[in-house]
Amino acid sequence: MSEFDFPEGFLWGAATAAYQVEGSPLADGAGPSIWHRFSHTPGNTANGDTGDVAADHYYRYASDVALMKELGLQSYRFSIAWPRIFPEGKGRINQAGVDFYSRLIDLLLANDIVPNATLYHWDLPAALHDLGGWLNPDIASWFGDYASAMFDRFGNRVPMWSTLNEPAIVMDLGYVTGFLAPGHRDIYEGAIVTHNLLRAHARGVQAYRGQNQTGKIGIAVSLEPRYEASDSAEDKAAARRMHAWSNSQFLDPIFLGKYPHELQEIFHDAWIPPADDELKLISQPIDFVGVNYYTRSVVEHDGKRPIFHISRIAQNGNPHTDMGWEIYPAAFTDILKWVNSRYGDIPIYVTENGSAWPDPPTAIDGRIEDPQRIDYLVSHLKAVHDAIEQGVNLRGYYAWSLLDNYEWAHGYAKRFGIVHVDYETQQRTIKDSGRFYSKVIATNGASLG
Ligand code: FCB
């Protein structure tokens, strides 16, 4: 017994996303995604990096599954690239794309690793983008058809599904601030995209239930606690707006059947209240919430800033990761408790959590020492354990990420893996953090004590 034992049956895993690890995005008849286009457009990504090769997981999945086994992972969270399945986004299915995921899933099962699939981790088929993408209301049925095809093929082998990964980031960074694909900067688009993401999510859940599938379906959201910089009413209101923007914008409609009223304050006349029957569809029950947590922020009211009228206050006294993200594990416990108190006793999986550090490009004597990543892992796993002790219904944890990979607009400069990838040779090396995590899994948390 240790003070850090996790509940029996707690699921330990690691996560990746298709465009970030697979490489060969156009192989075997796949169509281009918005990320393929975005990364190939000069000026959009650090160093002009693209996902063309990434960690070559498309060809190395078998040895990567062997690595998962060596680490003792009990589950692998991956995403399916929609344009590998539907090169034009809808209509014709590309069997070679289906076969790739089918082989991966079979191999996971043969190794007793639970497959956990995400249907949308940001790689929208470019052909659908040309029809308006997330701005076109028809995307709900395009997504529903894609989801349905995946449940039909893999539903009996994949027991855990997420419809979308981080819809708030898709909307905000994809359509409002433009740092991620498709790189738009339009608050009016943001309001439409939010609603269409939720409508698509709902069609995915509906398709799953319609097939009488027996696994679990949920959604993975990014949660970033927002703390007010002072007790002033203005700063408190700023924190409340930011909290609604990043944390309740998607969960309130799903669990409470309504949008947080702060959205009206943020979107102003861009906000069009949705119809009741749509909210009803959006709020149909799901089986779990996936929480992606990395950092928190402290905000204050700033009348000079556009749209939100908010500034982030740097917490210079606290440590930050290579992403410049403050390390503040207590916020992780807080936000998990918040989900539990606001939305009830819904099972929660931490679907992503991890940190980037400047590991060397090549392993040194076959080893990568990453004590800071271990520290982050320890403090955040303890934060998760705290939340469990305080009654949060937490069922599992996925480290982000299994492999060093393509960190979107940051390219390959930011390394999040518990397994190092030498991009020159594609050689994998389990980092010290990977070995550490392996022991945590083997002892169900006890070794944290
Ligand atoms: C999350 C994304 C994931 C990865 C991590 C660092 O927002 O879901 O793909 O980029 O951040």
Distance (Å, whole) CA 377 – CA 383: 10
* Residues framing ligand 1 (Cβ under 6 A): 17, 20, 165-166, 169, 222, 292, 352, 400, 407-408, 416
Extract the tokens encoding 400: 């982000």
d(C-alpha 369, C-alpha 374), whole Å:
9
User: For ligand 1, what atom is nearest to the CA of residue 165?
Assistant: 8
pLDDT of residue 307: 83
**Atom 9 in ligand 1: residue holding the nearest Cα:** 17
175-207 b/e with 16+ CB inside 10 Å = b?
bbebebbbbbeebbbbbbbbbbbbbbbbbbbbb
3 state SS of 417: coil
Q: What Å distances lie between residue 141 and 13, 154, 193, 363, CA to CA?
A: 31, 20, 15, 46
Encoded tokens for 214: 């027996």
pLDDT of residue 238: 97
Cα 366 to ligand 1 centroid, rounded to whole Å:
27
pLDDT-flagged residues of the chain (< 70): none
Residue from 118, 163, 166 whose mutation best tests the ligand 1 pocket (most atoms within 8 A of CB):
166
pLDDT, position 178: 97
CA of 294 to the centre of ligand 1 (A): 9
Q: Both tokens of residue 37?
A: 């286009």
Q: Is 352 a catalytic residue?
A: yes
Active-site annotation holds for 265: no
- pLDDT tens-digit profile of 162-201? 999 999 999 999 999 999 999 999 999 999 999 999 999 9
Instruction: Mark 308-344 as b/e (b = at least 16 C-beta within 10 Å).
Output: bbbbeeebeeeeebbeebbbbbebbbbbbebbbeebe
pLDDT digits (tens, 9 = 90+) for 294-336: 999 999 999 999 888 999 999 999 999 999 999 999 999 999 9
Q: Is the pTM of this model over 0.85?
A: yes
Which atom belonging to ligand 1 lies closest to the Cα atom of 122?
9
Candidates 177, 400, 404, 412: which one to mutate for ligand 1, based on the most atoms within 8 Å of Cβ?
400
Q: How far is the CA of 416 from the centre of ligand 1 (A)?
A: 9
Nearest atom, ligand 1, residue 407 CA: 10
Q: Which of 179, 322, 352, when mutated, tests ligand 1's pocket best, judged by the most ligand atoms within 8 Å of its CB?
A: 352
Tell me what pLDDT residue 151 has. Answer: 98
Measured from the Cβ of residue 265, the count of other Cβ atoms closer than 10 Å reads 15
